[in-house]
Structure 1
Amino acid sequence: MTTTTLAPPAAPRPATGPLSGEPLSDEELHALALRHGLTVSGARPSLPEYVRQLWARRGFVTAFATARLTAQYSQARLGQVWQVATPLLNAAVYYFIFGIVMNAEHGVPDYVPFLLTGIFVWTFTANTVLAGTRAISDNLGLVRALHFPRASLPVSLALQQLQQLLLSLTALAAILVCFGEFPTWSWLLAIPALALQALFNVGVAFVLARLAARTPDIGQLMPFVLRTWMYASGAMFSIRNLSTGGRVPEALVLLLQCNPAAVYIDLVRFALIRSYTSEQLPPHVWALAAGWAVLAFAGGFIWFWKAEETYGRG
């Protein structure tokens, strides 16, 4: 009986050059992959392509923002009422501390509309920035499982806060009417002011999303940073009145007025409150608002895009 011995399977041959039979170099392999349309897995696309991909996901961005807004207070008995109740309760606390105890309403006509407008506008920025720090860390499962522009997450969270602001503004308008601030054509100025603020907020959210993705402890630090920023933005008091009696140097007052959060608060107050005149606005306020918005949004978006392939790793 003849015994047949099976030879072991031959090892796979490395890719070789067409003539020499030698293995292809890394450069040749790279060129071969490019010729056949292969790309690096998870590689960062070019900036124009990234923008195109983000625009193509606009349906996801809107749906994600709406779903989060609906679920935000789903476990609370009052549900969406808290979207309005939270800034109102904050305003009541700040009115007691600043308006009554510290007498910040002195020299500020229509202090209650002044305070409420400042709190509602500031809350929009604070919530968007805080959400940006959690954009990647709170959605790691989504980031690691699916391929999509990661910028969709900060944009979705910013859109969620914008939707919440629009609901809150309805209550703010009703309260302003109760205090004698009836709608005028100037109220329309709040639309471009809030649009510029939204662009600024998204830009800052991009920056913090990238920073917090690498250093999660930033999320623990942000409440202290935001509290300090709020006090420097004049949400509860008039920054201009700080210079009365030489209490604060004019240069510092001007610097505080140019603070981006203060700029957007001032613009909305100017639009909604009749007693808030142009004399209380910093010089070239619309140029400042547009400049902050463009700088933050463009710079934040590009900086976030540069780290696109690193999100979700580690």
Structure 2
Amino acid sequence: MTQPPYAQIAQELRRRIQAGELAPGDRVPSTRAITQRWGVAMATATKALTALRQEGLVRAVPGVGTVVADIAPPVRSPRSTAEDPTVRTRVVRAAMALADAEGTTGLTMRRVAAELGIPTMSLYRHVANKEQLITLMVDAAFAGEPLPTRPPEGWRARLELSAAMQWRLYQAHPWLADALNLSRPLLVPHGMRHIEWALAALDDLGLDADTRMHAAVTIFGYVRGQAIDTETEARATQSSGITGEQWMDAQHDRMTALLAQGRLPHFASVADEAALSTTSLYEFGLTTLLDGLATRIRTAKPHGTVT
């Protein structure tokens, strides 16, 4: 049976979307453009776009028109698998390589598809959208450096090891710290294992459950907070060709003039002796944090004590 005109038009536009010729965010032909190209009435053109909108393939944007939806439904053939782990792994690795080199701002499904040499829409069989892709990237980053099966002796050594591993991951993947959010945490199993590791390290030390959880999340958040500028610094170095240390050296004369005004006497008294770096700040803060936790542990009441 011959399809009605609106269905034929919708089928052609659907094919272009599924083939990646029209990517998420691209404008699709307007009703006026459809009437001119296919020689149909305005009502038929409207019906074709309505059919695509009901399928979730397009959406209306005020002031712009009708565009390809950001989240397109998966297109499956009888032999395709909705979540082929091998293809998904390739997608995640390609996205991580792009993010490591350029950050996540310009990371799009189209860019990842181009790196893999496949149509953009085919990615949606394996990853729902950019948000899910970044979640998978975060989990894969933590999975890349797993915690040891046999932890070192002592709670402090265990927490220092976990923190050091997290710090290395943030340096290896500059986008990683910014991808995390403690207010709305990503439920990534390999990242959550660091919280589990910290909780296990603090078990049986007299600390109550609330204190242990706060300590575990605080340490995780501290390391992430110290690394939050990693991506910004990486991009600044990449674009300017000047490292952070070189930039600070270039500010020497300006800093000297500022301190010579005498308005910051305490700052001036230590400026020449202090040697700050991202690593020294991280190490100092972690040591201070763990020293405070050690005090908590020493003063904790033993289990079962009645006050």
Task: Give your verdict on TM over 0.5.
Answer: no
Please tell me the TM-score bracket, short chain as reference.
0.3 to 0.5
Larger helix proportion, structure 1 or 2? 1
Bigger relative contact order, structure 1 or 2 (CA pairs below 8 A, ≥6 apart): 1
TM (norm. structure 1) is 0.32
